[in-house]
């Protein structure tokens, strides 16, 4: 896989987190890229989220660089706004870019002051390390409770020429489908006007990050960016935009699914498919209720084909459906038919549920065409262990 | 404490649950009582919930008895409706009551056929055991994953005479504030017309069971009944109805708070107070978001004063407020002031958080008069253990 042209990456350890693991990273486009981003819908927004929104407005969707740190959310702190501004300004100066073309992003603990000097001091080294092949380093540097870096990429052929998309993301807890979720940075070297980027990202987000839940908590720092720097020299025709959208969706879905797989304490990724609802939105609501049910998630942790909990969760999704028409499959085995227990071998299914992937298929009989796919993970003792002591 | 006059209680082991612990119970009023009830808002409703609603409609709010079993929810089964009807009819026959004055209720596993004969066979013994002082036996018989029975009672003096209220409840998981939650049976010997009972129960429920969450799952079987049999001979005057409402609220709150304390795997009860919101409903929404946040609940399990998670949860409650005006106290110690970290001794607070009760006080500065109190519990490894293997 080749990465998009005209982007460079670097990471370093700036001393923000306690363990000596890279915690500061830079993503730079050689030329100002067209960009769009979605942010958390939380009323409490971290300083970098507020500044990032302002910068994108002021620059009318032009972005040279993303400056991102892990280990501190720069949220609910006295100096947060100043820190976001000063570190962005330092990055702009050293990159010779307008301030409003720098997008700051942070992830980590809330309510602890972030020392701007740690970042400004590390910037020269960071810039000196910038390289097109340090993509993976950045994906590692933005990890918090993540156990693996998460990247996805794809190529799109259009008129005999190729454009590239590559994305990275982080997130394992505080994951909930509301607009953007967690941090995700997606780069492409296609030429795409800003006016097209926004709806492209919206659509992509709707079918990926908005269909992802680990614990139902929506963070203060969620940021999802899409940068198109045109370095391929390839402009997308109207027909190729549709193809590009499909591939973008797949990249975003792959990133989102990787987060589900790496959910805090998760042993299993759970994919939930709902079909037969009146609308796609109804199907997504049912899938979301199932995905957010601690009882469903603990049953899956225990390899227990407890379909009653799945039916029950669907029942409080706020969506009208006839329970007596519901068929539920686990790992392809029908466990509930017409809303009632189906005959199946518990022992055999239990074994199938011991694997690392779990598929819940929730079908409502009838004429409804509404369908949705949703990702989550099981809920294990380790989620508790991780989160009962994360801050200290 | 004296219990309401004119009620009798009994429980027995009918072989519904595997362990030989009472699983069938009867609550009988000597005369038809005026009654009101609220039920789960889940679209998937257990057979007894559907029949109970029909009976209350048909009898215009008259109730002679509640027939309740634990160990099987009688939900999503082929024979569910028949089982609920047949067992209710058997109870009506033996009690010489109209069928529609019997309220059936069930709690336990979903999707497993319930054998009606186990119940009808046990009825004669059950009726022979009926006694005014077996109130506690019933409270024990309706337990599932509960570790303690949950009862509360009070007296109300009106015009030199006394009426009594006593309630019992069960529930530890699948607890979420939507209308009624879990099973709760409240009896009083006051004379109260049916027309007054309904709004009384609504109001009481709003400030108790609708302010309670263990895991955010809303069950298929939730049933909360209020029976007033008038056995005291005391009718409530308009002024004493207000007093009665206050005492009823307190009884319901005590029952709800006992559920929070006994939440599955819980080591701590968490009381959340929100004030300064625009409306009471806004305050309740903020409290609910905090109560449902797994990250807040795991932090409390770890005695971690991680107020950032509390602020963050409030931020996604869908309610407008100014984060920079928020003050948060834990155990009476201010940990966040003006939306920022306050100075406090972590070690001292950590110690205070090790206790069995946790108080979160979330105050929004300004003129808002909206306030709410909410109950939940911490989220521990034991919740996972209980629910990963409950069914088997």
Q: Which of A12-26, A108-122, A179-193, B218-232 has the lowest mean pLDDT?
A: A179-193
Asked if B230 contacts B191 with a C-beta cutoff of 8 angstroms, the reply is yes
Are B295 and A392 within 8 A, CB to CB? no
pLDDT digits (tens, 9 = 90+) for A346-369: 899 999 999 999 999 999 998 999
Confidence (pLDDT) at A216: 61
Cα distance from N-terminal residue to C-terminal residue, chain B: 39
Q: How many residues are given for chain B? A: 392
Beta-bridged to residue A156, according to DSSP, are A163
Collect all residues of chain B within an 8 Å Cβ-Cβ radius of residue A213. none
Asked if B175 contacts A316 with a C-beta cutoff of 8 angstroms, the reply is no
Collect all residues of chain A within an 8 Å Cβ-Cβ radius of residue B216. 216, 292-294
Are A301 and B75 within 8 A, CB to CB? no
pTM: 0.80
Residue A262 vs residues A143, A171, A256, B96: alpha-carbon distances, Å: 11, 8, 10, 60
pLDDT digits (tens, 9 = 90+) for A275-306: 999 999 999 999 999 998 888 999 999 999 98
Confidence (pLDDT) at A381: 87
Neighbours of B128 (CB within 10 A): 11
Asked if B158 contacts B132 with a C-beta cutoff of 8 angstroms, the reply is no
The answer to whether residue A390 neighbours chain B at the CB level (below 8 Å) is: yes
Are B220 and A312 within 8 A, CB to CB? yes
Is the pLDDT reported for residue B180 higher than 50? no
B 56-75 residues inside an 8 A Cβ radius of A: 73, 75
> Given the structure tokens 């005391």, which residue do they identify?
B234
Collect all residues of chain B within an 8 Å Cβ-Cβ radius of residue A217. 293-295, 309, 312-313, 316
Confidence (pLDDT) at A384: 81
A 359-388 residues inside an 8 A Cβ radius of B: 379-381, 383-385, 387-388
Is the pLDDT reported for residue A262 higher than 70? yes
Is the pLDDT reported for residue A208 higher than 80? yes
Report the chain A residue with the minimal C-alpha distance to residue B380: A384
Are B383 and A294 within 8 A, CB to CB? yes
Catalytic residue (one of B40, B120, B181, B376): B181
pLDDT band at B392 (very low <50, low <70, confident <90, very high): very low
CA–CA gap between residue B192 and residue B35 (Å, rounded):
9
Mean pLDDT of B284-296: 90
Measure in Å the smallest separation between the Cα of B298 and chain A Cα atoms. 5
Are A314 and B44 within 8 A, CB to CB? yes
Q: Which two tokens stand for residue A7?
A: 């982007």
CA–CA gap between residue B314 and residue B268 (Å, rounded):
21
Catalytic residue (one of A181, A182, A188, A380): A181
Q: Which two tokens stand for residue A347?
A: 């022992």
CA–CA gap between residue A151 and residue A207 (Å, rounded):
17
Are B294 and A76 within 8 A, CB to CB? no
Backbone angles phi, psi at B190, to 5 degrees: -70, 155
Cα distance from N-terminal residue to C-terminal residue, chain A: 39
Chains A, B: CB contacts within 8 A come to 202
pLDDT band at A179 (very low <50, low <70, confident <90, very high): very low
Are A215 and B78 within 8 A, CB to CB? no
Is the pLDDT reported for residue A219 higher than 70? no
Collect all residues of chain A within an 8 Å Cβ-Cβ radius of residue B340. 76-78, 111
> Given the structure tokens 């302002």, which residue do they identify?
A54
Confidence (pLDDT) at A136: 95
Maximal CA-CA distance, chain B: 68
Is the pLDDT reported for residue B375 higher than 50? yes
Backbone angles phi, psi at A161, to 5 degrees: -115, 165
Q: Least CB-CB distance to B294: which of A216, A219, A320?
A: A216
SS (H, E, C) chain B: CCCCCCEEEEEECCCCCCCCCCCEEEEEEEEEEEEEEEECCCCCCCHHHHHHHHHHHHCCCEEEEEEEEEEECCCCCCCHHHHHHHHHHHHHHHHCCCHHHEEEEEEEECCCCCCHHHHHHHHHHHHHCCECCCHHHHHHHCCCCCCCCEEEEEEEEECCEEEEEEEEEECCCCCCCCCCCCEEEEEECCECCHHHHHHHHHHHHHCCHHHECCCCCCCCCCEEEEEECCCCCCECCHHHHHHHHHHHHHHHHHHHHHHHHCCCCCCCEEEEEEEEECCHHHHHHHHHHHHHCHHHHHHHHCCCCCHHHHHHHHHCCCCCCCHHHEEEEECCEEEEECCEECCCCHHHHHHHHCCCEEEEEEEECCCCCEEEEEEEECCCHHHHHHHHCCCC
pLDDT digits (tens, 9 = 90+) for B251-287: 999 988 888 888 778 899 999 999 999 999 999 999 9
Q: Which two tokens stand for residue B112?
A: 């497993």
Q: Least CB-CB distance to A311: which of B44, B309, B381?
A: B44
SS (H, E, C) chain A: CCCCCCEEEEEECCCCCCCCCCCEEEEEEEEEEEEEEEECCCCCCCHHHHHHHHHHHHCCCEEEEEEEEEEECCCCCCCHHHHHHHHHHHHHHHHCCCHHHEEEEEEEECCCCCCHHHHHHHHHHHHHHCECCCHHHHHHHCCCCCCCCEEEEEEEEECCEEEEEEEEEECCCCCCCCCCCCEEEEEECCECCHHHHHHHHHHHHHCCHHHECCCCCCCCCCEEEEEECCCCCCECCHHHHHHHHHHHHHHHHHHHHHHHHCCCCCCCEEEEEEEEECCHHHHHHHHHHHHHCHHHHHHHHCCCCCHHHHHHHHHCCCCCCCHHHEEEEECCEEEEECCEECCCCHHHHHHHHCCCEEEEEEEECCCCCEEEEEEEECCCHHHHHHHHCCCC
pLDDT digits (tens, 9 = 90+) for B54-70: 999 999 999 999 999 99
Are A340 and B304 within 8 A, CB to CB? no
Burial of A18 (C-beta count, 10 Å sphere; 0-12/13-18/19+): exposed
Collect all residues of chain A within an 8 Å Cβ-Cβ radius of residue B392. 304
Confidence (pLDDT) at A390: 55
Asked if A64 contacts A51 with a C-beta cutoff of 8 angstroms, the reply is no
Q: ipTM of the assembly? A: 0.75
CA–CA gap between residue B288 and residue B134 (Å, rounded):
36
pLDDT digits (tens, 9 = 90+) for B67-89: 999 999 898 889 999 999 999 99
Confidence (pLDDT) at A361: 98
Q: Least CB-CB distance to B76: which of A111, A178, A339?
A: A339
Collect all residues of chain A within an 8 Å Cβ-Cβ radius of residue B44. 311-312, 314-315, 323, 339
Mean pLDDT of A178-202: 82
Collect all residues of chain B within an 8 Å Cβ-Cβ radius of residue A316. 41-43, 176, 178, 217-218
Average pLDDT, chain B: 90
The answer to whether residue A136 neighbours chain B at the CB level (below 8 Å) is: no
Q: Least CB-CB distance to A307: which of B111, B215, B306?
A: B111
Q: Which residue would you say has higher pLDDT here, A360 or B224?
A: A360
pLDDT band at A174 (very low <50, low <70, confident <90, very high): low
Q: How many residues are given for chain A? A: 392
Q: Which of A319, A308, A306 is nearest to A358 (CA)?
A: A306
Q: Least CB-CB distance to B391: which of A41, A306, A313?
A: A306
Is the pLDDT reported for residue B380 higher than 60? yes
Collect all residues of chain A within an 8 Å Cβ-Cβ radius of residue B109. 308
CA–CA gap between residue B139 and residue A126 (Å, rounded):
66
The answer to whether residue A13 neighbours chain B at the CB level (below 8 Å) is: no
A380 is catalytic: no
Percent of chain A with pLDDT over 90: 66
Are B215 and A294 within 8 A, CB to CB? yes
Measure in Å the smallest separation between the Cα of B387 and chain A Cα atoms. 6
Maximal CA-CA distance, chain A: 68
Q: Which two tokens stand for residue A336?
A: 């509930």
CA–CA gap between residue B90 and residue B73 (Å, rounded):
19
Beta-bridged to residue B157, according to DSSP, are B162
């Amino acid at each position: 896989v080749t990465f998009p042209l005209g982007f460079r990456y670097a990471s370093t350890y700036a001393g923000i987190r306690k363990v000596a693991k890279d915690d500061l990273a830079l993503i730079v486009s050689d030329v100002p890229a067209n960009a769009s981003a979605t942010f958390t819908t939380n009323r409490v927004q971290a300083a970098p989220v507020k500044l990032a929104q302002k910068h994108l407005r002021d620059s009318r969707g032009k972005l040279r660089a993303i400056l991102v740190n892990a280990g501190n959310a720069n949220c609910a702190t006295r100096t947060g706004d100043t820190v976001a501004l000063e570190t962005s300004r330092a990055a702009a100066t050293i990159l010779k870019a307008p301030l409003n073309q720098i997008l700051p992003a942070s992830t980590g603990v809330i309510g602890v002051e972030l020392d701007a000097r740690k970042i400004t001091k590390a910037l020269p080294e960071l810039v000196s390390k910038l390289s097109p092949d340090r993509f993976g380093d950045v994906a590692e540097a933005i990890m918090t409770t993540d156990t693996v870096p998460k990247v996805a990429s794809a190529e799109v052929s259009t008129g005999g020429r190729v454009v590239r998309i590559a994305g990275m993301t982080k997130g394992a807890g505080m994951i909930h489908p509301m607009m953007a979720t967690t941090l995700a940075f997606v780069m492409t070297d296609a030429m795409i006007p800003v006016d097209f980027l926004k709806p492209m990202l919206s659509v992509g987000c709707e079918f990926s990050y908005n269909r992802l839940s680990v614990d139902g908590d929506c963070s203060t720092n969620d940021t999802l960016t899409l940068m198109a720097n045109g370095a391929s020299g390839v402009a997308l025709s109207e027909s190729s935009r549709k193809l590009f959208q499909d591939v973008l969706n797949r990249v975003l879905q792959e990133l989102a699914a990787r987060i589900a797989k790496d959910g805090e304490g998760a042993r299993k990724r759970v994919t939930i498919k709902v079909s037969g609802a009146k609308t796609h939105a109804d199907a997504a609501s049912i899938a979301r209720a199932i995905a957010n049910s601690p009882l469903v998630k603990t049953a899956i942790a225990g390899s227990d084909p407890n379909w009653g909990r799945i039916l029950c969760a669907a029942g409080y999704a706020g969506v009208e459906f006839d329970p007596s028409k519901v068929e539920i499959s686990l790992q392809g085995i029908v466990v509930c038919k017409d809303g009632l227990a189906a005959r199946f071998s518990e022992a055999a299914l239990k074994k199938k549920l011991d694997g690392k992937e779990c598929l819940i298929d929730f079908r409502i009989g009838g004429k409804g065409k509404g369908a949705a796919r949703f990702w989550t993970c099981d809920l294990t003792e380790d989620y508790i262990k991780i989160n009962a002591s994360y801050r200290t």
